[in-house]
Amino acid sequence: MISGSPKSQRVEYRVAAADSNPYVILSAALASGLWGIENKVEPEPVVTGNAYDRKYPARLALPRTLWESAQRLKGSKMARDWFGDAFVEHFAATREWEEREFRKHISDWELARYFEII
Amino acid sequence: MPGGAPLVQGVEMEPRQVRSAADARAIVEERGVNYVKVGAFDIDGIMRGKYISRDKFLSSLDGGFGFCDVVLGWDCQDQLYDNVQYTGWHTGYPDAPVRLLPDTCRTLPFEDNGLFFLGEFSPPGEAVCSRGLLRRVLERGRAMGFEAYVGFEYEFFVFKETPESVREKNYRGLTPMAPGWFGYSVIRNSTGNAFYRQLLDHCRDMDMAIEGLHEETGPGVMEAAIAVDKALAAADKAALFKTFAKVIAQQNGFMATFMAKCSKDWPGQSGHIHVSLKSKSGDSVFHEAGKPHSMSDAMRWFVGGQQKLMPELLAMVAPTINSYRRLIPGFWAPTDATWVSRTARRHCV
């Protein structure tokens, strides 16, 4: 969050990368915040210093792959409530497809690493 | 600017003044354009569009027009999904009705100021239309008494390449727009001035004005902050920016990429979002003097909700295979749903 005057006080959503769909990511950023207001959700203690040096509770760990993220989305009651079953099912399926397409591909790294030695 | 009879008031209508279907009809007739460019964003935020004739456009203003719904049924490489319910061979890819949005009318400065309109998928496509999704979220927020204001900022790499040359090189060993680590360099933004200026000017002309533009650290990395607006308009600007920044770059002999991480040697590319809420009376919902970090209860809960749900909504935030290459420790991007406090450095709503 960024503190300032009534005009400049705001939340900066820093997990966001440039590759996201602006409508989809903003839906997630806003709906999760509004859900927090609705349910009076207290944040975890604020982080000071280098966030990478700390250990955090497992519940805050982000999924490591797109496949895992898609499974978490499908299982999210909040997502189904705010975004609708049709959107959640469709979006999760398109992410699963993306990962399936990726798994078809044999990378240069794999070839160089395993081709001869393994 | 293409000619045409002035409006009754004697003032030529500007694209950003268009509010209604009647206005859209008037500007198209007034400018005497033969074709209008229309577009809608797919699930990945890629704009799919076409030119339609003036007559077709005018008849579509009330009832909408049909767009083959395969644009909702294929991926970013036009490969057909085999696992979605919405459309597929089981439905035969019929036309999806698209509603034209008169108030998104924009000029296309690189097409002799031709006219452009955004559309949005109507039912049944509306359920999986990303713009429709945001609209529904905002309506629910409004029912809670909040209006969201948003500013997007993007980092992107720019290479001295063409769509052909990047393929010939297999996307390796590309020539950056300029070499070396030149964060905030005025040498870079003065030398490469033509592209900078065109990006600034065209974005202003298309009402997705850039508030700040600079050379980021890393070879050929730029960062653009798009001015704050109401949430839906801000998302339109962001999505249009990603599309047309690529166009403007290509017209200057460059290629811009918005991948999350295009090289293991360079930082990933963020798309930070600045969000604030106002009440119906226009007051800041987030600011409360005297509280820690001047943070109101509502703001604290907002952050609490974002933090708690980030792991389960991450697919919507990090939607590509490549997104997860950026979410590794030590590269300016998070690996856990944490939050920090800092002081405003940029004026925002």
- Residues B323-342 pLDDT 10s: 998 886 544 556 777 777 77
User: φ, ψ for residue A112 (rounded to 5)?
Assistant: -65, -35
How many C-beta atoms lie closer than 10 Å to residue B119's C-beta? 23
Q: Given pLDDT bands bounded at 50, 70 and 90, which one contains residue B10?
A: low
* List of domains in chain B: 15-141 (3.10.20.70), 146-326 (3.30.590.10)
Q: How near does any CA of chain A get to the CA of B217, in Å?
A: 16
* A88 vs B: CB within 8 A: no
- Could you tell me the end-to-end alpha-carbon distance of chain B, in angstroms, rounded to an integer? 34
For residue B347, the model assigns a pLDDT of 32
| pLDDT for res B183 | 83
Q: Which of A10, A22, A91 sits opposite B235 (nearest CB)?
A: A22
Closest listed residue to residue B270, CA positions, set B281, B259, B279? B259
Tokens of A83: 């975004």
Q: How confident is the model at residue B346 (pLDDT cuts 50, 70, 90)?
A: very low
Q: Is the backbone peptide bond immediately before B319 cis, with ω within 30 degrees of 0?
A: no
Q: Which one of A82, A90, A94 has the shortest CB-CB distance to B75? A: A94
Task: Examine the pLDDT at B1 and tell me if it is beyond 70.
Answer: no
**Gap from B108 CA to chain A (nearest CA, Å):** 21
For residues B64 and B37, the answer to whether their CB atoms sit within 8 Å is no
Structure tokens, B176? 């950056």
pLDDT classification of B9: cutoffs 50, 70, 90: low
Q: Is pLDDT larger for residue B197 or for residue B338?
A: B197
Q: Do B304 and A42 touch (CB under 8 A)?
A: yes
Q: Tell whether B118 lies on the interface with A, counting CB pairs under 8 A.
A: no
For residue B72, give Cα distances in angstroms to A97, B91, B123, B257, B346. Answer: 14, 12, 13, 23, 37
**CB-CB under 8 Å, A65 with B303:** no
Joined tokens for residue A89: 């099912």
Please give the pLDDT value at position B38. 96
Q: List, in sequence order, the alpha helices (H) in chain B.
A: 21-31, 54-63, 130-143, 163-168, 186-191, 193-205, 231-251, 297-317, 323-326
Give pLDDT, residue B2.
44
Check A47 against B339: CB less than 8 A apart.
Answer: yes
Q: Tell whether B130 lies on the interface with A, counting CB pairs under 8 A.
A: yes
Q: How far apart are CA B289 and CA A3, in angstroms?
A: 10
Picking from A29, A47, A65, the nearest residue to B340 by CB comes out as A47
- Per DSSP, B40 falls in state E
Query: Closest partner residue to B294 among A9, A70, A83, by Cβ?
Result: A9
Whether residue B317 and residue A4 make contact (CB cut-off 8 A), yes or no, is no
Q: Which of residues 59-78 of A touch B (CB under 8 A)?
A: 59-66, 69-70, 72-73, 75-76, 78
Question: Does position B84 have pLDDT exceeding 70, yes or no?
Answer: yes
Of the candidates A17, A23, A95, which has an alpha carbon nearest to the alpha carbon of residue B257?
A: A17
Give the pLDDT score at B334: 65
* pLDDT, tens digit, 9 for 90 and up, residues B105-144: 999 999 998 999 999 999 989 999 999 999 999 999 999 9
By the CB < 8 Å criterion, does A49 face chain B?
no
CA-angle at B313, arms to B309 and B316, nearest 5°: 150
Question: What local confidence, expressed as pLDDT, does residue B152 receive?
Answer: 96
Q: Is residue A9 less than 8 Å (CB to CB) from chain B?
A: yes
Torsion angle of alpha carbons B246, B247, B251, B252, nearest 10°?
-30
pLDDT higher than threshold 50 for residue B7 = no
* Percent residues over pLDDT 90 in chain A: 68
User: What is the predicted pLDDT for the residue at A51?
Assistant: 65
Q: Do B306 and A8 touch (CB under 8 A)?
A: no
User: Per mean pLDDT, which range of A65-79, A98-112, B65-79, B115-129 is the poorest?
Assistant: B65-79
Residues B245-264, mean pLDDT to the nearest whole number? 94
CB pairs under 8 A between A and B: 374
| pTM summary value | 0.92
Do A18 and B349 count as a contact with CB atoms less than 8 A apart? Answer: no
B 274-313 residues with CB < 8 A to A = 274-277, 283-284, 286-287, 293-295, 297-313
Smallest CA-to-CA distance from B243 within B275, B202, B214, B274 is with B202
Phi, psi of B281 (to 5 degrees): -85, 0
Residue A56 CB-half CA count within 13 A = 22
B234/A37 Cβ within 8 A: no
* Nearest Cβ partner for B334 among A9, A25, A51: A51
If you average pLDDT over every residue of chain A, what do you get? 91
Mutation for A interface: B101, B317, B322, B325, most A CBs within 10 A: B317
User: What average pLDDT is seen over chain B?
Assistant: 89
DSSP annotation string for chain A: -EE-STTT-BEEETT-BTTS-HHHHHHHHHHHHHHHHHTTPPPPPPP-S-GGGS---GGGBPPSSHHHHHHHHHT-HHHHHHH-HHHHHHHHHHHHHHHHHHHTPPPHHHHHHHTTT-
User: Quick one: tokens of A53?
Assistant: 């040096």
Q: Are B36 and B57 in contact (CB under 8 A)?
A: yes
Convert B89-112 to b/e letters by CB count within 10 Å (16 or more is b): eeeebeebbbbbbbbbbbbbbeee
CA-nearest residue of chain B to A29? B306
Nearest CA-CA distance, residue A118 and chain B, Å: 25
A2 shares contact with chain B (CB less than 8 Å): yes
Rounded Cα distance, B107 and B128, in Å = 28
* Residues near B248 by beta carbon (within 8 Å), at least 6 away in sequence: B110, B195, B198, B199, B202
Burial class (CB in 10 A: 0-12, 13-18, 19+), B163: exposed
pLDDT at B6: 44
**3-state secondary structure (DSSP) of residue B244:** helix
Question: What is the C-alpha to C-alpha distance for residues A69 and A88, in angstroms, rounded to an integer?
Answer: 12
Asked if the Cβ–Cβ distance from A16 to B270 is below 8 Å, we say: yes
Length reported for chain B = 349
Please indicate if any CB of chain A lies within 8 Å of the CB of B260: yes
Under the banding of pLDDT at 50, 70 and 90, the label for residue A67 is: very high
The encoded tokens of residue B82 equal 């085999």
